Amino acid sequence: MALYIAAEECISCGDCKPVCPTDSIKEGAVVFEISKKTCTECNGDYDEPQCVKVCPIDNCILPLVA
């Protein structure tokens, strides 16, 4: 599984980028973006996704549904 950032909710604060253990979060043209190829939802590193934990906006970082 992977996560994504809801562009309409993101305020581009950047809090998520430094806490990502897989370096999957990059600054995009408008808002930050999460690479679905490398995002692990922090499985194996933490009990919960660290980006979701530090994000100041509810429902900004969500599971990517296949």
| pLDDT attached to residue 10 | 97
Q: What is the pLDDT of residues 6-55, one digit of tens each?
A: 999 999 999 999 999 999 999 999 999 999 999 999 999 999 999 999 99
pLDDT value, residue 66: 63
Is pLDDT above 90 for 65?
no
Decide if 38 contacts 24 (C-beta within 8 A). yes
- Cβ proximity of 10 and 44 under 8 Å: no
1: confidence class by pLDDT, cuts 50, 70, 90: confident
